[in-house]
Each structure stands twice: as C-alpha cells, then as structure tokens.
Amino acid sequence: MSADPSVARPLRAPVRSRHGGAVYPAQSFEERMAAVEFRVGTRPHITVDAAVCRSCTTKACVSACPADLFAPTADGGILFNYEQCFECGTCYQVCNGAGAITWTYPDGGHGVVFHHG
C-alpha cells in the first residue's frame, strides 16, 4: 500500500479537565504539526503490508502514533503517511502483526528536524 498524504484527520474536540474546570481551545492536528519542521524525502521510510493489517485485531499504530500517521480503511487495511513522522519507532514497536510495518530511518538529512527537543 502506498503512502497517502491526504488521510483526513478530524479536528480534536476542546479539552476539558476531569473536574470540569479549565478548557483548552480546540486545536486541529494540522495546527499542532505545523509547529514542527519536516524536510520530506522522496523515499517513504515506512511501508505497510495492508494484507497483514486486515487480520490485525488491535491496529495499535492508529491511536499510539504521536504524529497520527495511520488511519484504518473501510476494508480493514491501514492508510499511512510518512511525511510528518517523528521517527520515534512507536508504530513498529506496537505493531501486532509481525512484519506488517517495516520501518527504517529516512534518507540522511531528511525527515523531522527538532529545534526545541
């Protein structure tokens, strides 16, 4: 399955603390990611074998990826976007189906550039 940068991400709801007090304004995930510099390479450094994903019961990558790069598809597969990746490795570490996600570093000089890490 190829990378799809157009995976839609919903606007997050305003955050309310458990005691019902402070509320933070809604911040879209796009706004959050716009604060991060990415020098996007041409080679996708993540590949996903959607055939394995279709038999995966957890799809943990979808919720655990801090960059929200993975989205389930109607047919039970996974759509992903490699372009705004933090290169943390969470996706392949939590991947339930052996070999569904292959993950390498982006080519030298590409990928995320943290300035306040």
Partner 1 sequence: MAELVVPPSGESVPFRFDAVVVGAGPAGSAAALALARAGRSVALVERGPFPGSKNVYGGVVYGRVLDPIVPRWWEEVPVERWVVRRSTMVVTGSQSLSVDYRTQTWGDAPYNGMTTLRARFDRWLADKAVEAGATLVTSTVATGLRRDARGRVAGVVTDRPDGELAASVVVACDGVNSFLAKEAGLLPRTAPEHLTLGVKEVLDLPPATIDERFGVGRTEGVDMEVLGGTGGIAGGGFLYTNTASVSVGAVLSLPQLAASGTRPEAVIAELKAHPTIEPLLRGGRLREYSAHLIPEGGYDTMPPLAADGLLVAGDAAALTLAAGIWLEGVNFAIASGWAAGQAAARALASGDCSAAGLASYRADLEGQFVLADHKRFRAAPGLVLSDRVQNRYPEMLCDLVEQLFTVANPEPKPGGWQVLRRTAARHGIPLRQLAADALRAARIFG
Where on the chain is the footprint of partner 1 (CB under 8 A)? 12, 15-19, 21-24, 27, 29, 31-33, 35-36, 39, 58, 60, 63-64, 66-68, 86-90, 92-95, 104-109, 111-117
Given the complex with partner 1, which of 65 and 77 has the nearer CB atom? 65
Given the complex with partner 1, which of 15 and 51 has the nearer CB atom? 15
Cα–Cα dist 105/75, whole Å: 29
In whole angstroms, how close is the CB of 78 to partner 1 at the nearest point?
A: 14
Burial of 79: CB neighbours in 10 Å, binned 0-12, 13-18, 19+: buried
Cα–Cα dist 62/16, whole Å: 23
Given the complex with partner 1, which of 6 and 17 has the nearer CB atom? 17
Q: What are phi and psi of 60, to 5 degrees?
A: -65, -25
